[in-house]
Amino acid sequence: TSLDLADKDLGPASAVVIASLIAGNGVLTNLVLWENNIGDEGAKALAAALRVNEVLTNLVLWTNNIGDEGAAALAYALRVNRGVLTNLVLWTNNIGDEGAKALAAALRVNAVLTNLDLTGNSIRDEGATAIAEALHVNGVLTDLVLWRNNIGDEGAKALASALRVNGVLTNLELYRNNIYDEGAKAIGGALAVNGVLTDLNLCGNDIGDEGAKAFGEALAVNGVLTNLVLVDNYIGDEGAAALASALRVNGVLKNIDLRDNSLGDEG
């Protein structure tokens, strides 16, 4: 039921062979192929297999030199897949906005995938916006990980708009994405009305007091969020005061992480 061939330097040709084996396999549920340099060719072969495979639930392909073409092929498979793939890990590949747009198109129609990890790619605001627009209609995805991309304020604003209407996503991770106060304020505003998201990670961005104040206003009325990570930002005493004020009335938040900010004694 599980095949782990991680870090074997298999290359595209071996990925094609593996794909041919899983196409008609009725047992394998977990396939791990990270750090194998399968490239777009290998990703395309696996995608073709996914279009007919009906049992694979977990596919881990991080650090495989998969670009936009491979991502697009996998996205097409997600659109037509008749199976049960729930977890797709594609971090540290070379996926840019075009690949993200293809995956977003898949999210609009896929009714199975619950976890999508796109850490360490080259997705900017256009790709993030496409994914956000898909979240307006997607009713399945619960975990979206976009660590170390470059979505910026515009991408953050788009995701914030999605959070206002999405009723499924529970975990959103945006570590190191060049999000400033404007993006943080948009997300804060969305949290004021969102009733589902429980975990939000915004560490390593450039969020200051204004962004923290927006989160404070949201936490004063939000009754769902349990974990808020704001490590390594630029939050000072004013932002800390806003968050502290919210914590006086918030009865849900269990963890708030403010390490490596600019809080002094007053904060």
* CB contact burial 40-61 (16+ within 10 A = b; e otherwise): bbbbbbbbbbbbebeebbbbbb
* Average pLDDT along the chain: 97
Our measurement of the distance from residue 65's CA atom to the centroid of its chain's CA atoms, rounded to an integer in Å, reads: 19
Q: What angle do CA 53, 54, 60 make, to 5 degrees?
A: 65
Query: Does the reported pTM lie above 0.85?
Result: yes
Q: How far is CA 184 from CA 153, 158, 222, in A?
A: 8, 11, 16
Which domains occur in the chain, in start order? 1-149 (3.80.10.10), 151-267 (3.80.10.10)
pLDDT tens-digit series, residues 188-238: 999 999 999 999 999 999 999 999 999 999 999 999 999 999 999 999 999
How much is the pLDDT for 81? 81
How much is the pLDDT for 238? 97
Q: What is the mean pLDDT of residues 84-95?
A: 97
Spatial separation of the C-alpha atoms in residues 107 and 136, rounded to whole Å: 10
How much is the pLDDT for 82? 67
Residue 53 has pLDDT above 70, yes or no: yes
Q: What is the mean pLDDT of residues 2-7?
A: 97
